[in-house]
Chain A
């Protein structure tokens, strides 16, 4: 069950965030230069690349957050039902 959940998450991240090559290729050589020097050089175009990569990671985090929260609700409701039944049984 866990591996199918992992597969679903992997699939949703790929579908939701897109192919990194397609996302960053439009930055052309600026992307490679950002890799070499980082955004610390103060160049606004490098800072833009870095922000874009961070945004890509941020969108992956959101996908994880959504699926995690939904799964948590389902598991929580199931856990709550077990808890209520257990308390009922004890009473």
Chain B
């Protein structure tokens, strides 16, 4: 590796591919303390708490594959902790990777190229030894282990903090840009729905493997374009855990907590010790609902209305009742045409819906397909309820229409971004056309009158002579 003391290179390789990541020194943020509750390696019930110091940084891939990477560098307190955490992170990464295996595409290079439903993570040992994930991917720091062992404390860059290499673990994953969700959508953003299919299938797949992400929320969902299409991807898999048997502690974000889990926690502070797999699946599905609703109704609506207090019973959230969600959605989209969509979106928040949320079988794909059916029912006969637009104008404005589509499709953008680009382009084209037409009619009428006056004046002059 290391031409310079501060360089750190990670080598990832699999069948017929290799990525070489040059890790950048982190910024000036101090290391963050992160605790993991890890099942003991030798079996048994009690979780083992492992405290780590985590440094966040980035890396650039010098070979083919995804160019920008996110790197977390964990420093453990003891060799035993490092070994247990390594095994835990590997099991977590393996399960998450398997959730991507159903995605289409022959000869895919999943660890370094999309499509993904869940962003893949690779674990790298700080001591330079080879690490294998699911027998298919090997990871290693770009220095032979004997060199690292020989120069134990001097070979890792100084910015890691002088830790012993065998106490250090790295987790590397493709870096995907965060998605700026719109704050409010006064018309349902249904153009997002198609791109959620991949994510819904990935969540179902993860649950079939008896794992749960546990922290699905709008900021943990990014959008990713690739040569075969585009889709939403889950990131930040730190909280992912085996759901069956369930853990006895849970990490996640309180704001996006599933109703059943919230009730368990509020009834009894120790209640989370009695988690069930169904509650963990429901937590993921509830998170997925908040993400889909952020896309359709807006992020602000989700954070402040859906997850805000119910006006009829401020001790509860709107999200704790299907009826309250239905009312809130109908108030947000007052046009009655959206009623079927609002009903489909609200259903999982009610008692029947919650039974389905906690069921062990797949749920997300079926639910999303139901939402898309409901959206089609909203579209049936509308906006075509009014008279059919004048088709002859399509020929008149053919070049302008082409320009609007070209403008919207130029450059990489999510489908919703393209739609907004198109709205803007339509507004600009309308102004241009109006100006062109105004200039034409101003010339025709103005010159016509002047010419007529000239002819009349000339005629009067001739007659007068």
Which residues of A are in contact with B by a Cβ distance under 8 Å?
6, 9-10, 12-14, 17, 19-22, 24-32, 35-36, 38-39, 45, 47-48, 50-58, 60-65, 67-69, 71-73, 75-77, 79-81, 83-84, 86-88, 90-91
Is B448 close to A, CB under 8 A? yes
Q: Determine the distance from Cα of A33 to Cα of B412 in the docked complex, in whole angstroms.
A: 16
Known contacts A35-B409, A48-B384, A53-B404; 5 further A-B pairs (Cβ under 8 A): A64-B434, A68-B441, A72-B445, A79-B446, A79-B453
Is B193 close to A, CB under 8 A? yes
Least CB distance from B414 to A in Å reads 10
Q: Determine the distance from Cα of A39 to Cα of B391 in the docked complex, in whole angstroms.
A: 12
Say whether A76 contacts B389, CB under 8 Å.
no
Least CB distance from B197 to A in Å reads 12
Say whether A53 contacts B426, CB under 8 Å.
yes
Say whether B446 contacts A73, CB under 8 Å.
yes
Least CB distance from A63 to B in Å reads 5
Say whether A57 contacts B443, CB under 8 Å.
no
Among residues of A, the one whose C-beta sits closest to the C-beta of B193 is: A29
Which of B79-87, B236-244, B394-402 is the interface stretch? B394-402
Given contacts A20-B423, A21-B423, A35-B418, contact A47 B194 (CB under 8 A): no
Among residues of B, the one whose C-beta sits closest to the C-beta of A39 is: B394
Size class of B's contact patch?
35 or more
Say whether B378 contacts A73, CB under 8 Å.
no
Q: Determine the distance from Cα of A51 to Cα of B388 in the docked complex, in whole angstroms.
A: 8
Among residues of A, the one whose C-beta sits closest to the C-beta of B405 is: A35
Say whether A47 contacts B391, CB under 8 Å.
yes
Q: Determine the distance from Cα of A10 to Cα of B134 in the docked complex, in whole angstroms.
A: 62
Q: Determine the distance from Cα of A69 to Cα of B449 in the docked complex, in whole angstroms.
A: 11
Given contacts A64-B441, A69-B441, contact A55 B187 (CB under 8 A): no
Least CB distance from B387 to A in Å reads 10
Say whether B437 contacts A68, CB under 8 Å.
yes
* A–B complex contacts, Cβ < 8 Å, 19 sampled: A24-B422, A31-B419, A31-B422, A32-B418, A48-B388, A51-B394, A57-B393, A63-B434, A65-B438, A65-B440, A65-B441, A68-B438, A76-B448, A77-B449, A80-B449, A80-B453, A83-B454, A87-B454, A90-B461
